[in-house]
Amino acid sequence: MKRVYAREEVCAGCKLCEVYCATAHSEYPSSILKAFQRQETRPVARILVEVDQPLTFALQCRHCEEADCTQGCITGAMTKDPETGIVTNDESRCVGCWTCVLVCPYGAIKRDESGHKVASKCDLCSNNDTNPICVQKCPNNALIFAEISKGGD
């Protein structure tokens, strides 16, 4: 499947990907200002820029083949779509037990406690076709959305 890959050698560590991800997954996906100013709680990004200068790269869910989070989920909220391969969390079923947060080997799941507690993670902007918002908005082409057969970074 196509995944988002970080090219740390050109990541500027600007964290704009976080801003756009948070906006896209907020109540006001088309307006940064509204997302950050109108929404009651600060929108949460599902991508995380790891910074240990000069090393910087953006990390998000790898949508693992054998996903620990889906196996550990106690309510069956976390599932992998057999067709697209995208791992998503059904927020209506998630009870915020944070098992997935514990088991994810990449630390790709964040806790969203703004409303009803839910595990918040990358959903590839819910498609496996067009570029997710982080890829679109990265100012330095440091994220690519591609099918790389084995591994890749």
* Site residues (vs ligand SF4, CB under 6 A): 11-17, 49, 58, 61-64, 67-69, 87, 104, 106, 108-109, 121, 138, 140, 142-143
- 32-51 footprint of another protein as x/- string (CB under 8 A): xx--xx-------------x
Q: Which of another protein, ligand SF4, none is residue 143 near (CB under 5 to 8 Å by kind)?
A: ligand SF4
Three-state secondary structure call for residue 134: helix
Shortest Å distance, C-beta 74 to ligand SF4: 14
Give the angle subtended at the CA of 42 by the CAs of 23 and 144, to the nearest 5°.
35
Q: Are 69 and 103 in contact (CB under 8 A)?
A: yes
Q: Which residue has the tokens 């550990």?
A: 72
Nearest to 100 by CA among 82, 80, 126, 81: 80
Q: Which of another protein, ligand SF4, none is residue 94 near (CB under 5 to 8 Å by kind)?
A: none
Q: Are 89 and 112 in contact (CB under 8 A)?
A: no
Which residues sit at the interface with another protein, rule CB under 8 A? 9-16, 18-20, 32-33, 36-37, 51, 53-54, 56, 139-142
